[in-house]
Amino acid sequence: MPRKIPKYAQLEHERRFLITQAPELSGVAFRLIEDLYIIGSRLRLRKITLGDGRDIQFKLCKKYPSDDRLSVPIVNTYLTADEHAVLSELPGRNIRKRRYSIVSSAKSLSLDVFEGQLSGLILCEVETASVAELESQVFPDWVRREVTDDPFFTGGNLAGIDARVLVAKLSSLYDRSD
């Protein structure tokens, strides 16, 4: 039986990995992403600024719960700067990161280098058009520890933790070997 997804939603096929040693990023273009996870909801308000600071996009996103570890229903709505300003007044928790697009073995990986309270955290994400394509991916040597199934590394959770909690989690993972 085909999977039912909410109206207007699309399936996002994605895997996430914790990175301990990132490749050289100097000279690699990035986007600055500022997220507000709105308290009491599954909504994320996003501002994306290209590295040169000239091009800015605004989005409102909702990810739906899913039993499928690799595919999540998601809806994005593009906003104007004024709409973003209104919604940014809602109570929420912030995350700020630089997203680098790395091309490796004919696929594109997103490397998120977090700032602020999450400084030191680097996550790699790969998104594909299908689950089959996602499962068949071969990754560079520096992509090792998958955290797709670990709810700790979801944006909504990360927005609510501080540096102390992050350090404790990372220490517990590294203590189990890498």
Domain CATH code at residue 82? 2.40.320.10
Q: Which of 13, 10, 53, 9 is nearest to 31 (CA)?
A: 53
CA distance 121 to 167: 9
Helix (H, G, I), strand (E, B) or coil at 111: strand
In a domain, 3, yes or no: no
Active site residues: 37
2 lies in a domain? no
At 141, phi and psi to the nearest 5? -55, -30
- Residue 5 is predicted with a pLDDT of 86
Q: Specify the pLDDT at position 23.
A: 85
Question: Domain limits at 28?
Answer: 10-175
Q: pLDDT 10s digit of each residue in the chain, 178 long?
A: 456 788 899 999 999 999 988 888 988 889 999 999 999 999 999 999 987 777 899 999 999 988 888 999 999 999 999 999 999 999 999 999 999 988 766 567 899 999 999 999 999 999 888 888 888 888 888 888 999 999 999 999 999 999 999 999 999 987 765 4
Residue 120, in any domain of the structure: yes
The answer as to whether 5 is a domain residue is: no
Question: Which residue has 């998958």 as its token pair?
Answer: 146
pLDDT score at 178: 46
- For the chain, how many structural domains are there in total? 1
pLDDT value, residue 103: 73
